[in-house]
Amino acid sequence: MTSVQGTHLDLPTPDGVADAYLAHPDDGRPHPGVLLYMDVFGLRPSLEEAAGRLAGHGYTVLVPNVMYRAGRAPLVDLPGFIDPAERPEIIERLLPLAQALTPDLAMRDAGAYLDWLAASPLVADGPIGAAGYCMGGVLAVRTAAAHSDRIGAAAAFHAGRLVTEAEDSPHRLVGRSRAELYFGHADQDRSMPADQIAVLERTLEAAGVPYRSELYEGAQHGYTQSDTAAYNAEADQRHWRSLLELFERRL
C-alpha cells in the first residue's frame, strides 16, 4: 500500500456543482482512474476511507455526491453508526432524493465526472473503472453502458432492482457495455432476489458480456458499509478481493 492524499473538491456538471472527494497515491504520478459511487447514505467518512484504501492500491478515486441537487453532503444528520431500524427517518428522508435522480440525470452527471477524470493530471490514459454500493451499484452498471468507450471494468455490490419491467432496466442495458462486469449479491436482499439474479445472469450470457455474478451467503443488503448495521466483515473482505482483482485485470 502506498501513501495516499485525500481532497474535497467541487465538480462542475451540466446542472450545477457536485461536491466530491478525491483520493490518490501521494506520488504526483498519474494512475488509473476510478469512479466510486456512493450508497444512499451518501458521501461520508466511511466512503472516504474506502476511497483511500482503493487509492492505496494505485488508483485515483473520485467519489461524487450524486444527490448534489438536493444539497451538499451530508444531506441529513447521520449518526456515527447507522441503524435504519432505530432511525427509520433517515431512509424516509433520503429515499425520495435518491428516486429523484433519474437515469437521464445520473448519466449526464456521469459524463461530467468522467470528463473531470480524463482532464486530471492525476489520472493515467486508458480505461476508467466504476464501482458502487446499493444505488451506486446500479449507477456503475448504467455508466458502463452509457459510457462504454470509457469504462473498462464495473462492479456492483449489493445493488438492488437491477432487474425491473422498465424499458431502461439496468439488466436490459448490459449488452451496450464493453467492460468486464462484476456483481456481488447479498443473499438476504429483498431488492435483488434469486429469480432476478437468474434473469440478470441469463441476460449477461445472451449478450456475451464478460462478467462474474456471485452470491455472498449470510450477507445483508449493505454488507460493505462499515458504519451501518448491515456490515459483514467477512463479506466486506471478499468484496475487496474481488474488486481489486477486477481492476488489476482491466485497468
Pairwise CA distance, residues 148 & 180, whole Å: 11
State the chain's mean pLDDT as an integer.
97
Interval 13-17 mean pLDDT: 96
Amino acid 1: pLDDT? 76
- Residue 76 C-alpha cell reads as 441529513
Question: Domains of the chain: which residue ranges?
Answer: 4-250
Count CB-CB contacts under 10 A for residue 78: 18
Q: For the segment 104-160, what is each residue's pLDDT rounded down to a tens digit?
A: 999 999 999 999 999 999 999 999 999 999 999 999 999 999 999 999 999 999 999
- Residue 86 C-alpha cell reads as 432505530
% of residues, the chain, pLDDT over 70: 100
pLDDT band at 245, cuts 50/70/90? very high
Beta pairing, strands 16-25 & 60-64: antiparallel
Contact 225, 46 (CB under 8 A): yes
Q: For the segment 45-86, what is each residue's pLDDT rounded down to a tens digit?
A: 999 999 999 999 999 999 999 999 999 999 999 999 999 999
Count CB-CB contacts under 10 A for residue 13: 20
Strands of the sheet containing 211-220, edge to edge, are: 4-13, 16-25, 60-64, 33-37, 128-133, 151-157, 180-188, 211-220
pLDDT at 230 over 80: yes
Q: Which helix (H) or strand (E) holds 144?
A: helix 135-146
Candidates 3.40.50.300, 3.30.450.40, 3.20.20.70, 3.40.50.1820; CATH matching 4-250:
3.40.50.1820
Interval 205-231 mean pLDDT: 97
CA-nearest of 156, 137, 143, 147 to 242 is 156
% of residues, the chain, pLDDT over 90: 98
Contact 15, 105 (CB under 8 A): yes
Amino acid found at 153: A
pLDDT at 174 over 90: yes
pLDDT at 2 over 90: no
Contact 62, 20 (CB under 8 A): yes
